[in-house]
């Protein structure tokens, strides 16, 4: 279905030379001021943007995603940066790549077009969202962090400590938001644009395996510790059912990654196992 859509889109764009394709990279939980360097890393950013007709038509979002998704510092900040990018670059075909909780903030915009006057223009410009390991149904680890137990030391680098974004990603809280405020989950209205999930299914940290070091061995090791508290299909932070909870599954990691490698939650935002090439070619 994606291939057919892309072919039709290419035909439409060839008939409208004024259309400009853009790329937006939307980080996950955390307060970012230099997400290109600190969250995604420049190798990932520069590889993906080469898929653009004009490689300068990209924006790396820097917002305070330690807040609730609707907060002015979260969705409001995201809307400001997306809207300004669209207007300044005349973007009419926007591919959005999100990671983790960034998918929830983006889904808030797609689900609530009357919340902010800028939302309709953003939604209209979006081609689709590629959601890397989205926390669409939350994670038991957020519940654990809010309870102040040992998970804090294991995933504090990823989640932060008892902030509103962590509180929001508790499983019962996400169930409420999905049922009342967000579109795209089972039994709810569909999102106005495609929301395509890339799902991480496992964590590997064998010290003799160089693949375990991609993205940082110590970060992957922390995720292997937390994975013991999740079900067998998880990326160390999110269970597969959460990652596949909204929109449509594009692919699970092992079916497309080089060597059939899995993607830990850390690796799904990094230049690991050909993920960047898949995202680049998708543009």
For residue 62, how far is the Cα from the chain centroid?
Answer: 14
Q: Could you tell me the pLDDT band of residue 9, with boundaries at 50, 70 and 90?
A: low
Helix (H) or strand (E) holding 196: strand 194-199
| Domain-embedded: residue 236 | yes
| Domain-embedded: residue 123 | yes
* SS3 of residue 131 by DSSP: strand
Q: Could you tell me the pLDDT band of residue 13, with boundaries at 50, 70 and 90?
A: very low
| Domain-embedded: residue 178 | yes
| Domain-embedded: residue 14 | no
Q: Could you tell me the pLDDT band of residue 14, with boundaries at 50, 70 and 90?
A: very low
pLDDT digits (tens, 9 = 90+) for 103-151: 999 999 999 999 999 999 999 999 999 999 999 999 998 888 888 765 6
| Domain-embedded: residue 15 | no
**Whole-number average pLDDT of the chain:** 92
Residue 5 has pLDDT above 80, yes or no: no
Q: What is the CATH number of the domain that holds 252?
A: 3.40.50.1820
| Domain-embedded: residue 161 | yes
Residues 159 and 139: their CA atoms lie apart, in Å, by: 11
**Burial label, 25 (beta-carbon count in 10 A; 0-12, 13-18, 19+):** buried
Residues 157 and 139: their CA atoms lie apart, in Å, by: 16
| Domain-embedded: residue 227 | yes
Under 8 Å between Cβ of 106 and 78 = yes
Q: What is the pLDDT of residue 12?
A: 52
Residue 256, token pair as written in the block:
């497309």
CB atoms within 10 A of CB 267: 30
Q: What is the pLDDT of residue 144?
A: 84
Residues 277 and 255: their CA atoms lie apart, in Å, by: 15
Number of domains the chain is built from: 1
Domain that holds residue 132: 21-282
Residue 159 has pLDDT above 70, yes or no: no
Mean pLDDT of 147-168: 73
| Domain-embedded: residue 12 | no
């Amino acid at each position: 279905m994606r291939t057919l859509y892309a072919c039709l889109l290419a035909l439409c764009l060839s008939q409208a030379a004024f259309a400009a394709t853009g790329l937006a990279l939307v980080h996950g939980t955390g307060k970012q001021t230099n997400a290109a360097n600190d969250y995604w890393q420049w190798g990932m950013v520069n590889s993906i943007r080469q898929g653009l007709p004009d490689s300068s038509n990209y924006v790396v979002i820097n917002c305070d995603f330690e807040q609730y998704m609707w907060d002015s510092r979260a969705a409001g900040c995201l809307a400001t940066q997306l809207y300004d990018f669209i207007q300044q670059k005349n973007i009419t075909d926007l591919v959005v790549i999100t990671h983790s909780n960034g998918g929830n903030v983006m889904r808030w915009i797609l689900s609530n077009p009357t919340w902010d006057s800028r939302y309709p223009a953003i939604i209209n410009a979006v081609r689709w969202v590629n959601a890397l390991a989205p926390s669409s149904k939350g994670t038991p680890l957020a519940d654990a962090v809010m309870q102040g137990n040992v998970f804090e030391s294991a995933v504090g680098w990823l989640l932060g400590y008892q902030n509103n974004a962590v509180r929001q990603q508790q499983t019962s809280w996400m169930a409420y938001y999905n049922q009342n405020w967000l579109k795209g989950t089972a039994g709810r209205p569909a999102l106005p644009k495609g929301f395509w999930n890339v799902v991480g299914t496992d964590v590997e940290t064998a010290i003799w395996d160089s693949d375990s070091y991609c993205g940082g061995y110590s970060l992957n090791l922390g995720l292997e510790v937390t994975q013991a508290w999740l079900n067998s299909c998880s990326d160390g932070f999110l269970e597969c059912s959460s990652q596949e909870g909204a929109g449509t599954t594009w692919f699970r990691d092992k079916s497309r990654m080089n060597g059939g490698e899995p993607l830990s939650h850390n690796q799904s935002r990094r230049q690991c196992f050909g993920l960047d090439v898949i995202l680049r070619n998708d543009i």
